[in-house]
Amino acid sequence: MTHSDLSLSLARRTDARAIANMSRVLIEYGLPWKWTAQRVEASICAANVNVLVARLETRIIGFAIMRYGDDDAHLDLLAVALPYRRLGVGQELLNWLEKCATVAGTFRITLEVRENNRGAQQFYERMGYHRLNLVPGYYEGTEAALRMRRDLASGSSCPSSSHSDSRS
């Protein structure tokens, strides 16, 4: 895969089922399924949310969902299919959403990641996010989350431009 083969676009309502299925397998494993096709479709239709997909030809190989508020944004989900990790797909998705936040005047982005997902934590740290705090029981009362944040107003660019992506 080359970067010219990859296209990023806002998701269409018809993408909701594929995104929900990827979320179930890549993010919500071991938890009750929250990001159903209906919930994803509602996010696609919401004015304050961007649902972005990465396509290789017609196939969705990654996606990200970000909600925008007045002062900050929240990365709800980001996932890349296993064969396409560490190729820069996650970085492309996150960079696109961060640019939207900046254009909208939103300079703080927060997210939560599973405490035991070291690969995702390292990915976000390379992207300029820092650890805020541990949130016990965040995932259905059974698993802790690490809350992370990036301040886009600080002018710090992405510390690494290498194509590493291990978010799940």
Q: What is the pLDDT of residue 135?
A: 94
Assessment of whether the complete model's pTM goes beyond 0.75: yes
CA-only gyration radius of the chain, Å: 15
69-73 contact pairs (CB < 8 A, 24+) = 69/106, 70/106, 71/106, 71/108, 72/106, 72/107, 72/108, 72/109, 72/110, 73/97, 73/101, 73/106, 73/108, 73/109, 73/110
Question: What are the tens digits of pLDDT across the range 80-116?
Answer: 999 999 999 999 999 999 999 999 888 999 999 999 9
Mean pLDDT of 21-42: 96
Kindly report the average pLDDT of the chain as a whole number: 90
Question: What are the tens digits of pLDDT across the range 113-147?
Answer: 999 999 999 999 999 999 999 999 999 888 999 99
Mean pLDDT of 3-26: 94
Q: Are 51 and 10 in contact (CB under 8 A)?
A: yes
How far is Cα 41 from Cα 134, in angstroms, rounded to an integer? 30
Q: What is the pLDDT of residue 3?
A: 58
Question: What are the tens digits of pLDDT across the range 68-86?
Answer: 998 899 999 999 999 999 9
Q: What is the pLDDT of residue 168?
A: 38
β-pair partners for 24: none
Q: Are 19 and 38 in contact (CB under 8 A)?
A: no
Closest C-alpha to 25, from 16, 33, 15:
33
Domains and CATH numbers, the chain: 3-154 (3.40.630.30)
Contacts of 97 (CB under 8 A, 6+ apart): 50, 52, 64, 66, 73, 75
